[in-house]
Amino acid sequence: MTTRHLLTLMDLSKKELNQIINRAKELKEIKNRGEIFEPLKNRVLGMIFEKSSTRTRVSFEAGMIQLGGGAIFLSPKDTQLGRGEPIEDTAKVLSSMLDCIMIRTFSHDMVETLAAHSTVPVINGLTDFAHPCQVLADMQTYSEHRGNISGKIVSWVGDGNNMCNSYIIAAEQFDFNLKIACPEGYGPNHHLLDEHKERISLCSTPAEAAENSDLIVTDVWASMGQEEEQRQREIAFKDYQVTKEIMSIANKNAVFMHCLPAHRGEEVSAEVIDGEQSIVWDEAENRLHAQKALLEFLITGNQ
């Protein structure tokens, strides 16, 4: 049997993605009822983090424990990866001991190499190119609040970063239309735009992107690894804040999402992220439930 991975949302079929989201909702109910459910007893997840994390680390580690297994945090600083051991060799060794590997790093190519040499599932916990686990949780969250996202209009405001790229792929996989407003020179991946152009409209302002929108999403102006560009980005992005005015242009029952961490007063105003249309706390919590469903799917092959 071929080993399945989640490097981008294209690695799962539309049917599988919907199954995982339905399962995430079931696992959330099981947990909320206080039931013990341990399909991953004795299974171990290795978690390689080359970048910081609160939600990703805690949700994967807590998720594995709740499913009866365990997780090991691996920092390149303390492993031989940081001293130059090849990723191919690391993949072979880790897959002989673990049941699944999660990695958060800079280069997407490195994650592809890891997966190519791993005999256990590899999950992308964020690269410079994509953040599929977050968008899986976002899809669960939208569906819990507003029902099926299929046929809806989603607006991306801000940086054309890893989250924006993952929303482009999600538009294809979950069947919605995506309006994107990024400052010039900060747009998303060109290949993705070409590949999924039927699903995408590029807009010149956040206001234009917000028209007829059912969901407005944004993210930080400077992602991890771009800290030195912060000042320059503050100038380039100054008109790309999701404000109350932008939310008022969208459909009346539109919701607001942000993967967090957020910078109030930069990409989003405090009154929007802390306001009634914001569903960011459910979105963050759903990382746990969506990833538990993903781990169960990848590790046990349950479909």
Footprint on this chain of ligand NVA (rule: CB under 6 A)? 126, 161-163, 219-220, 223-224, 259
55 has catalytic annotation: no
263 has catalytic annotation: no
Rounded distance, CA 115 to CA 109, Å?
10
Is 75 one of the binding residues for ligand CP (CB under 6 A)? no
Q: Are 23 and 48 in contact (CB under 8 A)?
A: no
In the set 131, 233, 258, 289, the catalytic residue is 131
Sign of the torsion angle spanned by Cα atoms 73, 74, 78, 79 = positive
Is 130 one of the binding residues for ligand CP (CB under 6 A)? no
- The site partner of 54 among ligand NVA, ligand CP, none (C-beta below 5 to 8 Å per kind) is ligand CP
287 has catalytic annotation: yes
Single-letter amino acid code for the residue at 196: H
259 has catalytic annotation: yes
Rounded distance, CA 51 to CA 227, Å?
12
175 has catalytic annotation: no
98 secondary structure, DSSP code:
-
- With respect to ligand NVA, which residue has the nearer C-beta, 67 or 280? 280
First to last CA, the chain: 14
Q: Which of 285, 109, 55, 17 is nearest to 4 (CA)?
A: 17
Is 243 one of the binding residues for ligand CP (CB under 6 A)? no
289 has catalytic annotation: no
Is 259 one of the binding residues for ligand CP (CB under 6 A)? yes
Q: Are 213 and 190 in contact (CB under 8 A)?
A: no
Q: 45-74 mask for ligand CP (x: CB under 6 A)?
A: --------xxxx------------------
Q: Are 74 and 57 in contact (CB under 8 A)?
A: no
- With respect to ligand CP, which residue has the nearer C-beta, 100 or 280? 280
Residues marked active site are found at 104, 131, 134, 219, 259, 287
